[in-house]
Amino acid sequence: MAACLHMHSRRAPRPKRNAAMTRTVIDVSHWEDPIDFEKVAADGIVAVIAKATQGAAGIDKTYAKYQKAAAPYKFLWGSYHFGTGSEVDAQVEHYLRTTKPGDSELVCLDFEPNPNGPTMTLDQARDFVVLFQDRTGRYPVLYGGYWLKERLNGKADEILIKCPLWLAQYGPKAVLPVGWKEYALWQYTDGHDGPPPHAVSGIGPCDRSQFRGTIDQLRKRWPFS
């Protein structure tokens, strides 16, 4: 996922402090291949979210391999779809057909600029969420950072705020987009920018996320929808 260093926001609320924090969630894609999941588990990682699909036809070549390799270690599992400017209905069908997510698996729409083609618009993100909820009964987690904040333009979105937020922001403070009162997860580093820890045994530097609560609370909240 792309770096999200922008810190500005229009009167965006900040999460409350004085709560336990756990930084035991990672997200991965083909860029991290190969991964030694035995070492990942031994390093204390509890949850893994893997890139599954992109647009209407793209599939991350490592998704099925990662899912199979991670299974013996009983991670909390999740997947994400990188949204593009492709036809939304086709994207939803492609994501669901590829992942066939169970009720215990986190599902996520990654909303950020597409460096290789048309970028998903805010209207398309809304349509994706509505179609996804209609076909699964669940709202996907929404991953976003500065791009989401800029597209919202200081106005809460009545559809998108139904999605648990996975905030992408590589800085010392989590500043929420307008409309959300809390984040489900906060991706605080891409393995280079943002506060430590950065590296994970069996991978090296990688995307890491924080949950506001204990590991037991994370297990109870997962998959957030």
Residue 164 lies in a domain: yes
- Predicted local distance difference test score (pLDDT) of residue 217: 98
What tens digit of pLDDT does each residue of 181-202 get? 999 999 999 999 999 999 999 9
Residue 102 placed within a domain:
yes
Q: Is the pLDDT of residue 9 over 50?
A: no
Does the residue 144 lie in any domain?
Answer: yes
Is pLDDT above 70 for 106?
yes
**Structural domain boundaries, residue 62:** 21-221
The CATH number of residue 150's host domain is: 3.20.20.80
Look at residue 146 and tell me if it is in a domain: yes
Task: Indicate the number of domains in the chain.
Answer: 1
> Is the residue at 119 inside a domain?
yes
User: Residue 8 falls within a domain, yes or no?
Assistant: no
Q: Is the pLDDT score of 25 beyond 90? A: yes
Q: Is residue 6 part of a domain?
A: no
Residue-wise DSSP of the chain: ---------SS------SS-EEEEEEEE-GGG-S--HHHHHHTT--EEEEEEEETTTEE-TTHHHHHHHHGGGT-EEEEEEE-BSS-HHHHHHHHHHHH---TTSEEEEE-S--TTSPBPPHHHHHHHHHHHHHHHSSPPEEEESHHHHHHHTT---TTGGGSPEEEE--SSS-PPPTT-SS-SEEEEESSSSSSSP-EETTTEE-EEEEEES-HHHHHHHTT--
Residue 176 in domain: yes
Q: pTM for the complete prediction?
A: 0.91
